[in-house]
């Protein structure tokens, strides 16, 4: 937990020396905070407004992150037979939670059915992030060289910005 707080404080902004796996871990931590905000929103005064606003933040971050991760990190790790199976699985998990996210976005009422769907979405995302952090990323650290891990940061950020622009234009 202390590690997590330290990462949150320093944030993902200092990317000059970071590697792709550390950057993604920081993005995971930020995503978990956003998801928890919605899960804990039942007693908020402006509950509908809060859920709408935080869901928009989740979408704006998660869609480009998942797609850029596939384009850059998964594409590289799919070339190694040790990590390939988990990249295929991860891609399918992205499809499931991005579909749920789209359904949440399309629902106009943020009542109990919306919240039930959000909980399923949250469970799917949590499961995916745990698998990446506990299984894929440790394997990836043995596949990628230190230099490669750093070099993938720029490609990932460029892909993420591209997908964010596409999403904003759609």
Footprint of Fe ion on this chain (CB under 5 A)? 69
> From the CB of 90, what's the least distance to Fe ion, in Å?
5
> From the CB of 125, what's the least distance to Fe ion, in Å?
9
> From the CB of 129, what's the least distance to Fe ion, in Å?
7
Which CB, 103 or 131, lies closer to Fe ion? 131
Distance, in Å, from the CA atom of 67 to the CA atom of 53, rounded to the nearest integer, reads: 22
**Residue 110 in 3-state DSSP?**
coil
> From the CB of 5, what's the least distance to Fe ion, in Å?
22
Q: Which residue minimizes CB distance to Fe ion?
A: 69
User: What are the b/e assignments for 119-152, b being 16+ CB within 10 Å?
Assistant: eebbebbeebbeebeeebbeebeebbeeeebbeb
Which CB, 19 or 69, lies closer to Fe ion? 69
Lookup: tokens for 80: 């190694």
Residue whose C-alpha is closest to residue 86's, from 130, 116, 149: 130
Which CB, 29 or 69, lies closer to Fe ion? 69
> From the CB of 55, what's the least distance to Fe ion, in Å?
19
Lookup: tokens for 156: 């990932």
DSSP 8-state class, residue 153: H
Which CB, 26 or 69, lies closer to Fe ion? 69
**Residue 46 in 3-state DSSP?**
coil
Which CB, 55 or 77, lies closer to Fe ion? 77
């Amino acid at each position: 937990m202390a590690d997590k707080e330290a990462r949150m404080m320093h944030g993902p902004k200092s990317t000059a020396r970071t590697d792709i796996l550390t950057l993604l871990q920081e993005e995971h931590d930020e995503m978990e905070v956003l998801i928890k905000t919605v899960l804990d929103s039942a007693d908020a005064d402006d509950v509908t407004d809060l859920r709408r606003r935080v869901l928009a933040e989740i979408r704006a971050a998660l869609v480009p992150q998942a797609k850029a991760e596939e384009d850059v990190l998964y594409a590289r790790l799919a070339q190694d037979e040790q990590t390939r199976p988990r990249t295929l699985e991860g891609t399918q998990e992205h499809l499931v939670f991005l579909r749920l996210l789209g359904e949440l976005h399309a629902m106009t009422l943020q009542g109990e059915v919306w919240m039930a769907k959000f909980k399923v979405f949250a469970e799917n995302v949590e499961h995916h992030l745990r698998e990446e952090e506990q299984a894929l990323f440790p394997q990836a650290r043995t596949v990628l060289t230190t230099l490669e891990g750093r070099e993938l940061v720029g490609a990932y950020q460029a892909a993420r910005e591209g997908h964010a622009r596409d999403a904003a234009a759609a």
